[in-house]
Structure 1
Amino acid sequence: MDDRMPHCFCVTIVLILALPTCFAAASDWKAKFEQLEENYDKMKAHFETLERKVDQLEAKVKKQDSILAVLEKGHRPLKDSVDINQHRRHNATLRTCHEIHVANPSYTSGMYWIDPDGHGIGDPPIHVHCDMVHKTNNVTKGAEGFQSGMTSILHDSESKKDIGNCTEPGCYSRQIKHYASERQIAALIQLSSSCTQNISYHCRNTPLNYNGIAYAWWNGKDGQKHEFSDWLTSCEQLSGKKYAINGVIRGERLPITRVHFSNPFQGSGQYTVSRLRCSGKAKVEPMPTSCDDLWRMGHTLNGFYSVRGAKRMETVYCQFDKRPNEQGFQKWIGYVDVKSQPTYFYVQKNTTFNSTNVSIPFEVEKVNVGNAMDLKNGTFTAPRDGLYFFSFSCLTTAGTTAKPVFAAVGLFLNAVQVGEAWVHEGTTTVNRDSPLTFQSTLTLKAGDRIWLQIKSLGDTGFLYDDKNGYNHFNGFMLDEEITRSL
């Protein structure tokens, strides 16, 4: 027997004894590997899902950034989602959220396109938030100011802002940029029954006004400066306590365009400016009385319209591509700034008069519509260019002697005689009276002056009159000359 056999035999026995242990260890590692592989597949699937969600979120953020950039420029996006485009097409002629809600009460709150200054004219439509069912403390409000269909114009400063540590009055300043043009904002305010905007201020040792010095204020429409005069009861107390105050701004001062604050005592201050919110519909007469009423009703086409006047239907020319407060928005046809109110007068004397070559004064005013006739100096001033008619009648007398009766009365235009009436009778009895009359139609310019003068009388003659009134002068505008400037 080989001497190496016992050694080989021993090795073989050791290997045989170790095999079960090796097979067991290999089985464990295989199970662990399979578990790791399964975990890897799950993690891979999870990461792929997260990656898709990230891609979707990035696409949404990119789209929102694009819309925000366009809104800041005051223009609507060229491409939007299908839903927004559908809303825009449907609401193209609607001017407020209130009108959208009235047109279809089933619409829910959200972002909508409106065009306050009129569809197809003025500035482009604006993107606003419509609160279709406004609630406060979970209770739906129906009173004015809390009506369904509230319009909110967004701006770039809606989040809470810190005023910092500057100490000079108004040294912190921030412009409030609304996502709508000035014209569209003004139109929305005019169309609504009420509009408000809030400023909330959280203060600690940061007075708005202290010892008569204004440390904070805000600017409204057209940049007017307004102090926080009504909100000073808490913030000017330098007690170290924190206070929260809130102010509501209404009316023609809106919108808030800039705020100014200061921190003179090294306290703290944070403010929030709310959106401009408008609700309801401005009151309009059932029958329009002006272009303003027609515009509020929704008319946008320039042209002639009939409106209710004080005594009759009247005609106006409305230029709806202008705002109601802009020159040229409305022209009355027949009245005011195109054809104005009627002008006519009728005056009398009640005393005798015999002064020659001076204007004849009058004492009794029967009618003087337009106030163009000045009785004291007997002068009529034409208020507008046009065609005018005048009539004069008087009673001349020779006096207490039996002499011929003669008299001449002239009509003067700006010191130039343009007409004359003459009466002449031979020798007559004492106190013989003779009438004198004439009429004239003249084309006058605005500011032209008309009066009467006695050109000649007998030695003892005069224009006779008493309380009965025998001398009459009247005139009126037949037709006004119109210069069309539409």
Structure 2
Amino acid sequence: MARFSATQFGVLVLVWSTSYVVASLTVDMQLEQLRNNYMKLEQVLASKDSRLEFLEQKVQQHGNLEAQITRLVNEVNQMKTQVRRAPKLELKVQRQESLLNAVHGESRSHNVSLRQGTTQMPKSCADLKNNGHTSSGMFLIMGIKMVETVFCDFSKAVNDPSFQKWIGFADVKSFPVYFHAQRIGNYGAANTVIPFNQLRLNVGNALNPVTGVFIAPKAGKYFFAYSGLSWDSNAKVQLQMKSATADWSRIGEAHCTPFNTFALQSSLELKKGDEIRIIHIHGVIHDRDGNNFSNFVGLLLEEDVFGC
């Protein structure tokens, strides 16, 4: 077998060393390349994260935008609804203003051809038109003594005969007044006011049952009626009235024989404070058996609302 020489061995060592150095250099270069690639990858990922965050912000802004658009659409729809209701609301406001003007007494002067007035309440369709009414319809106006109902056609001229049509009187009362009084027990005191010890009704408290006197709380037309039964003798009663300018005077009278009925009725126009009573002249009024033979009733038919 041939032997390597020292020169050959040295050559082999030199080749091996060179190969090792080259291999080492190649690995370092690869590691450096890997580091560089890793850093570039981190930069790319950071850029993508920033882009993703930006896109997420855009999506959130888009959602907020959609919510604002929805709110604006709802507000527009509400405004459309209010616009559609505006004519009806305007008509209601006009009617309420007319009522407030009548109640609070806002005086206005009018120069029209129909029944005129300078008071706070409208007296005609022309007054209502001057107050701002434009929608035709039925209205309440101030009559001579009572509230009246008229139909106003605001599409026609004031001097047109069909501009105002009178409908009738409105039964307006500031408060109701009516009573029904009875007696329990005979009554025989001559020339005295008949008292009543049983009240069925006394709305308005205008009748004092103890004194038997009715005092008109409001000016207007009233109706009164009295009926009774005599005892064992002739009996007589009177309906009397007293005013601020006149003392008690007889309005009506009724009398009967023993154990017979008597009655009287009257419709009267009274001023506020006028008084009404039933006077027992003579005889005995029979109510001992509890059959309620005696009845005194009265009620306000029409109120003089304006106190003329």
Report the TM-score, using the length of structure 2 for normalisation. Answer: 0.46
Larger strand share, 1 or 2: 1
Q: Tell me which of the two structures has the higher relative contact order, counting C-alpha pairs closer than 8 angstroms and 6 or more residues apart.
A: 2
* Structure with higher helix content: 2
> Which has the greater radius of gyration?
2
Q: Give the TM-score taking structure 1 as reference length.
A: 0.30
